[in-house]
Amino acid sequence: MVFPCTSLMEPCSFSWVFRVFFTLLIFFLGSSLSLSWSLHPSLINSTAMHHHYTAISEFRLLNRRTLRECPNRSPYLQVNVSLSSNLSDEEYVNVTVNGALLPSEHDWVAMISPSHSNVENCPLNEILYAQTGDLSSLPLLCHYPVKAMYMSNDPDYLSCKKQECKKYDKGKCVVRTCSGTLTLHVINIRTDIEFLLFGGGFVTPCVLSRSGPISFANPKKPLYGHISSVDSTGTSMRLTWVSGDKEPQQVQYKDGKTKLSEVTTFSQDNMCTSDLPSPAKDFGWHDPGFIHSAVMTELKPSSTFWYRYGSDSAGWSEQIQFRTPPAGGSDELKFVAYGDMGKAPRDPSVEHYIQPGSLSVINAIADEVNSNNIDSVFHIGDISYATGFLVEWDFFLHQISHVASRVSYMTAIGNHERDYISSGSVYNTPDSGGECGVPYETYFPMPTPAKDKPWYSIDQGSIHFTVISTEHNWSPNSEQYQWMTKDMASVDRSRTPWLIFTGHRPMYSSLNAFMGVDNKFVKEVEPLLLANKVDLAFFGHIHNYERTCSIYQQECKAMPTKDRNGIDTYDHSNYSAPVHAVIGMAGFSLDKFTNDVRANKWSLSRISEYGYLRAHATKKEIKLEFVNSNTKKVGDSFRIIKR
């Protein structure tokens, strides 16, 4: 029996009687039998269901490996970390392995947090991990490493170029050992860390040696600040940051103004789970510290200010310059939009879930910010891809901080933030790894009506943005459906002539990707777009870029014409239907188009490259460009005009 969550901040639980029964059933049946007939329905085909956070690499399956005893361990092995003091908030740490008698290409170093985490066998827990989908090789390693790197990244290790004599006989060296050094990128995640040397690769791991605990110099340090709009005036901005300090801190801004932070957090008990514990509930948990939030008021729109945040006891951030967005109803707005970013390591490490294009995209957008080319960012779902491995939120927040700390960073929720089995999401998939929206809404408080109602609207410049959750009920008579109907109908088009509708899952895509387009969602919600004369609809979820004609019910109601520069131009003076753009190309491994997609007459531009959508809106037109983040070249341009 499954007990669904009664609210977002309450844990999902399940019957302990069922757990015991299921454990005994698996134990007696054994892995040699076909198990599909005896599994709970939520576990059948679980490998496919859980492909979003498992089965991609050997490392991502590590928590399902039996930890064996290492044969022929060297008595001289040591793991040393070169530090003159405790860890700073960000640094590249040299980890040296000394005393290897037989260096192997299968030797690897893992970063563990917290340092006291159990990385021994957990044979009694094997039933708890069945939901990760690998029933033939259940997980026994208790805790998931933050990151890992093979010692072969230092070629001197395998070649034994760096030798040390450990034993002499009559003046002659009879025992020589080898050493190697790896450099790992470390950020302040507040808890002590430790580096472990494993043998056996990721498939048959065994612990060879440990470094011992290493502490951060200031685990209470306020970090990873990012700002967002709270309303359409451009005069108030919310600043959110992370700290190990539970006491309220301050934001200081605008020539001596201060605001005290509100402090919140979430716990392991707030994570969702089902018949079997989720990653967020179990092996992927990491303490988030405390999330601080304060609203800076009495600002001016389209203006530049400075701020810093923290306290005398916990420390202060550096002084940061930021720009407020233009007020709703003003003429001009410059913004970028994208979905499906995630994060990637800044060293050769492997991590639980890597989105390889994310670094190039965020770095390109940082250049836009530095050049004062944009007023705001819209990230429409699949934010960090932590998927129940909570430490990855810190790495994501660190990655975006040089953008999100300086311009309004607005977000929408995606399947990898919210969806989980029997948790109240529309899609009964485990894509959030048990997070169920709790970390997302804590780290990114948007101007939403309430917890677990992550929809909102905001005016910036000449645009009204309607931001929905495709993961929450959007059927007629639902609260969200009623809200979006009222919101779009109430837009003053003389004040904000452009209406942009955005959510995570698309209505149109040339690809038949897994759960790509939900025809029921299209049937229920697309008529609202036409009825309210939505100009442009942004979606992610599919990991590429695609632009349509003015489309409704699979038919082109109007086609763009070429302007004098050869750019596709949609004339909405005589409105026909919305233009749709899939913009899920900001980090996740790209979905490639096939030749047969040209059969879709409504698909006008298709690009499978990493990048972002750059927009410049006035009251008369919106100019939009797909920008390749690696080359900075524009791959697609189009305009929407109103005469």
**Where are the alpha helices (H) located in 511-618, listed in sequence order?**
519-531
**Would 3 be classed as within a structural domain?**
no
Q: Are residues 491 and 381 in the same domain?
A: yes
Q: Are residues 586 and 464 in the same domain?
A: yes
Cβ neighbours of 642 (radius 10 Å): 17
Among 165-174, 244-253, 596-605, the range of highest mean pLDDT: 244-253
126 pLDDT tier (thresholds 50, 70, 90):
low
Q: Are residues 340 and 257 in the same domain?
A: yes
Burial status of residue 448 (CB atoms within 10 A of its CB: 0-12, 13-18, 19 or more): middle
Tokens for 298?
């009495």
Split into its structural domains, the chain has a count of 2
Q: Are residues 238 and 147 in the same domain?
A: no
- Strands 206-210 and 194-199, by their bridges, are antiparallel
pLDDT of residue 114: 86
Question: Could you tell me if 497 and 515 are in contact, meaning their C-beta atoms sit under 8 angstroms apart?
Answer: no
List the beta bridge partners of residue 97: 79, 180
Q: What is the DSSP string of 227-268?
A: EEESSSSSS-EEEEEEES--S--EEEETTTEEEEPEEE---G
pLDDT of residue 56: 54
Q: What is the DSSP string of 452-517?
A: TB--EEEEETTEEEEE--TTS--STTSHHHHHHHHHHHT--TTTS-EEEEE-SS-S--SS--TT--
**Would 19 be classed as within a structural domain?**
no
Question: Could you tell me if 207 and 187 are in contact, meaning their C-beta atoms sit under 8 angstroms apart?
Answer: no
Q: How far is CA 13 from CA 431, 452, 545, in A?
A: 18, 18, 39
Average pLDDT in the 509-517 region? Answer: 74
List the beta bridge partners of residue 306: 321
Q: Are residues 273 and 408 in the same domain?
A: yes
Q: Between 618 and 202, name the one with better pLDDT.
A: 618
156 pLDDT tier (thresholds 50, 70, 90):
very high
pTM as predicted: 0.90
Q: Are residues 172 and 239 in the same domain?
A: no
For tokens 């020539």, the residue is: 255
pLDDT of residue 185: 98
**Would 572 be classed as within a structural domain?**
yes
- Give the lowest-confidence range in 12-21, 57-66, 172-181, 474-483: 12-21
**Would 33 be classed as within a structural domain?**
no
**Would 529 be classed as within a structural domain?**
yes
Q: How far is CA 631 from CA 328, 346, 606, 609, in A?
A: 33, 20, 17, 10
- What is the tens place of the pLDDT at every residue in 386-432? 999 999 999 999 999 999 999 999 999 999 999 998 999 999 888 89
pLDDT of residue 58: 78
| DSSP, res 303 | -
- Assign 285 to helix, strand or coil: coil
**Would 12 be classed as within a structural domain?**
no
Q: In the chain, what's the furthest Cα-to-Cα distance?
A: 97
- What is the tens place of the pLDDT at every residue in 32-75? 333 332 333 443 444 444 444 444 567 877 766 777 888 888 99
In degrees rounded to 5, what are phi and psi of residue 477? 80, -5
- What is the tens place of the pLDDT at every residue in 367-392? 999 999 999 999 999 999 999 999 99
| Cα 355 to chain centroid, rounded | 9
Question: Could you tell me if 456 and 503 are in contact, meaning their C-beta atoms sit under 8 angstroms apart?
Answer: no
Going by C-alpha positions, the residue among 362, 433, 369 that lies closest to residue 396 is 362
Report d(CA 297, CA 236) in Å as an integer: 4
Q: Are residues 172 and 227 in the same domain?
A: no
Going by C-alpha positions, the residue among 625, 636, 628, 626 that lies closest to residue 609 is 628
In degrees rounded to 5, what are phi and psi of residue 486? -65, -40
Question: Could you tell me if 409 and 438 are in contact, meaning their C-beta atoms sit under 8 angstroms apart?
Answer: no
- Give the lowest-confidence range in 58-67, 152-161, 459-468, 610-619: 58-67
Question: Could you tell me if 134 and 143 are in contact, meaning their C-beta atoms sit under 8 angstroms apart?
Answer: no
Report d(CA 463, CA 502) in Å as an integer: 12
- What is the tens place of the pLDDT at every residue in 535-592? 999 999 999 999 999 999 999 999 999 999 999 999 999 999 999 999 999 999 999 9
**Would 586 be classed as within a structural domain?**
yes
Last residue of a domain, one of 167, 195, 215: 215
Question: Could you tell me if 531 and 525 are in contact, meaning their C-beta atoms sit under 8 angstroms apart?
Answer: no
Question: Could you tell me if 49 and 133 are in contact, meaning their C-beta atoms sit under 8 angstroms apart?
Answer: yes
- Torsion angle, alpha carbons of 462, 466, 467, 470, to 10: -150
Q: Are residues 210 and 322 in the same domain?
A: no
Q: Is the dihedral of CA 629, 633, 638, 642 positive or negative?
A: positive
Q: How far is CA 398 from CA 247, 344, 368, 384, 410, in A?
A: 22, 11, 18, 11, 17
Last residue of a domain, one of 215, 234, 268: 215
pLDDT of residue 72: 83
Q: Are residues 467 and 595 in the same domain?
A: yes
For tokens 């054994």, the residue is: 30
Q: Between 178 and 28, name the one with better pLDDT.
A: 178
Report d(CA 96, CA 80) in Å as an integer: 5
Q: Is the dihedral of CA 347, 353, 355, 358 positive or negative?
A: negative
pLDDT beyond 80 at 135: no
**Would 27 be classed as within a structural domain?**
no
pLDDT beyond 90 at 131: no
Report d(CA 502, CA 591) in Å as an integer: 21
Burial status of residue 571 (CB atoms within 10 A of its CB: 0-12, 13-18, 19 or more): middle
Report d(CA 535, CA 502) in Å as an integer: 11
Going by C-alpha positions, the residue among 604, 480, 607, 593 that lies closest to residue 547 is 604
pLDDT of residue 353: 86
pLDDT beyond 90 at 21: no
Burial status of residue 592 (CB atoms within 10 A of its CB: 0-12, 13-18, 19 or more): exposed
Q: Are residues 155 and 61 in the same domain?
A: yes
List the beta bridge partners of residue 607: 545
Q: What is the DSSP string of 375-400?
A: SEEEEES--S--TT-THHHHHHHHHH
Q: Are residues 381 and 511 in the same domain?
A: yes
352 pLDDT tier (thresholds 50, 70, 90):
confident
- Give the lowest-confidence range in 63-77, 156-170, 285-299, 626-640: 63-77
Q: Are residues 209 and 269 in the same domain?
A: no
Last residue of a domain, one of 215, 248, 267: 215
- CATH number of 495's domain: 3.60.21.10
Question: Could you tell me if 466 and 499 are in contact, meaning their C-beta atoms sit under 8 angstroms apart?
Answer: yes
Q: Which domain holds residue 389?
A: 222-641
- Assign 45 to helix, strand or coil: coil
